[in-house]
Amino acid sequence: MTAWPDLPADHPFGPHNLPYGAFLTRDAAQPRLGVRIGDEVLDLPAALHATGADTGGAWAGALQEPTLNRLLELGHTAWTGAREWVTGLFAEEADPAVVRPHLLPLGQVEMVLPFHPADYVDFYASEHHATNVGRIFRPDQAALTPNWKHLPIGYHGRSSTIVVSGTDVVRPSGQRKPKDAEVPTFGPSQRLDIEAELGFLVGGPTTVGERVSVDDAADHLFGVMLFNDWSARDLQAWEYVPLGPFLGKSFASSVGAWVVPMAALEHARTELPTQDPEPLDYLRGDGSGLFGLDIEMEVRLNGTVVSRPPYREMYWSPAQMLAHMTVNGAALSAADVFASGTVSGDEKAERGSFLELSWSGQEPMQLEDGSERSFLEDGDTVTITGWAPGPDGSRIGLGEVTGTIRPATELG
């Protein structure tokens, strides 16, 4: 007997992946948790009942909830138990006849946000992105601010506006001040942008005053998902001094529907770039917890590939971001989310924002239909896909995060 379903060895959603999601069906009043296998989703509550595992402990109960929040709250041991059970369903010794009835074609379900976000922090962890932005906005000064290589810079976002892939994004309005104007005006953003990022879903709550070290960060990192931090650059430019991003960022952040467990990314771990100067002790630990991720991304605007950002070049490790986020004693909650910041590489074709790709509008992007873009127009659709190396030359798919821009709403 061989592992099933019968999928190509290099299928991005084979039994080596099994990302979590939440879905609705026509006959369901609330979402159910599932895992993706091939182009189907396994109904986890139904599979638990069919296999007799629905009384298998706390993790089994958590998989029967409508979101991942309860599982995230239980911590790393429960995550391991749940994954061992799920992967066992597709092992050689498994009985397909028991599980197959509970596989649903993706086309027959509606994917929804698989967790209720608790808190949200966005980082700024790409040296290439930070350097490009510095050169654009501060051409007569050093591209990186003096603190950038000493700590992972971040800001608090708005968790209530994290939306699942496929949700339309309404163009935000706010104050904008052109360089040659004396006073700001109010209206829809004219420089609406994307930020191709990787999001991290956190579990294992802590208490106020407790720190999470880089060496223990893995106990709190549940999984990753594709992330698009939509950004209104004109609103942001006027508001960010002296306290940083606010309304230019808080109107929408899109996440992929699939959360890939960290356990599925063991073969994607890679070394960090050289960090010089050496970070402070709390950002180093014993070194065992520091890692990068070899994840490839692709950004499409209205079907045209405009960028392929490489996550492996990110300067700061997710473990360092988490350690810095808690070093002051800030508590973690189940379903906290933090994102990496824009992923950009050294080459122009690897830049993860339109601000960089168009160099603030000076070098418009050419699309396959003959049109040009510097920033987003109403009706534009952006889709970010991603994948990582898996075992034996396979791929780990992250799926996609997509959104379409709708016109600004008028104030009533």
Tell me how far apart the alpha carbons of residues 173 and 180 are, in angstroms, rounded to a whole number: 20
As annotated, the active-site residues are 129
- Say whether pLDDT at 368 is over 80: yes
Residues annotated in a binding site: 122, 124, 138, 195, 197, 229, 236, 240, 249, 253, 342
Q: What is the largest CA-CA distance in the chain?
A: 75
What pTM was estimated for this model as a whole? 0.97
Taking residues 61-72, report their average pLDDT.
98
Residue 89 — pLDDT band, cuts 50, 70, 90? very high
Task: State pLDDT tens for residues 231-257.
Answer: 999 999 999 999 999 999 999 999 999
Q: What are phi and psi of 399, to 5 degrees?
A: 80, -140
From 362, 220, 387, 230, select the one nearest 293 (Cα to Cα): 387
Residue 120 DSSP code:
E
Annotated binding-site residues for substrate read 124, 138, 236, 240, 342
User: Based on the domain organization, do 364 and 399 belong to the same domain?
Assistant: yes
Contacts of 6 (CB under 8 A, 6+ apart): none
Same domain for 194 and 270, yes or no, is yes
CB neighbours of 110 closer than 8 A, spacing ≥ 6? Answer: 23, 24, 25
Which residues line the annotated binding site for Mg(2+)? 229, 249, 253
Number of structural domains the chain divides into:
2
Domain hosting residue 33, numbered range: 20-112
The reply to whether 2 falls in a domain is: no
Q: What is the mean pLDDT of residues 167-192?
A: 96
Domain with residue 380: its CATH number is: 3.90.850.10
Residues 98, 128 share a domain = no
Contact 204, 75 (CB under 8 A): yes
Question: In the listed set 95, 112, 129, which residue is the last one of a domain according to the structure?
Answer: 112
> What residues form the annotated binding site for Ca(2+)?
122, 195, 197, 229
Kindly report the CA angle at 94 between 88 and 96, in degrees rounded to 5?
115
Residue 144 located in a structural domain: yes
Query: Is residue 12 a part of any domain in this protein?
Result: no
Residues 106 and 125 in one domain: no
What does each C-alpha distance from 30 to 25, 113, 256, 326 come to in angstroms? Answer: 9, 12, 20, 34
Domain finish residue from 78, 112, 146? 112
Looking at the structure, tell me whether residues 256 and 315 fall in a common domain.
yes
Looking at 114-220, which runs of residues are DSSP E strands? Answer: 120-123, 154-156, 162-164, 169-170, 173-176, 185-188, 192-193, 196-202
Is 102 in the same domain as 131?
no
Confidence of residue 2 (pLDDT cuts 50, 70, 90): very low
Judge if 102 and 165 occupy the same domain.
Answer: no
In a domain, 186, yes or no: yes
168 shares a domain with 281: yes
Considering the domain boundaries, does residue 8 fall inside one? no
Residue 73 lies in a domain: yes
Same domain, 166 and 36: no
- pLDDT tens digits for range 193-234: 999 999 999 999 999 999 999 999 999 999 999 999 999 999
At residue 33 the predicted structure's pLDDT band, cuts being 50, 70 and 90, is very high
CA angle 356/181/374 to nearest 5° reads 25
The CATH number covering residue 92 comes to 2.30.30.230
Q: Are residues 42 and 126 in the same domain?
A: no
- Domain boundary among the residues 112, 128, 148 is at 112
Are 270 and 181 within one domain? yes
Give 332: exposed, middle or buried? Use CB within 10 Å, 0-12, 13-18, 19+: buried
- 126 and 66 together in one domain: no
Q: 398 in a domain, yes or no? A: yes
Q: Is residue 399 part of a domain?
A: yes
* Whether 40 contacts 104, CB under 8 Å: yes
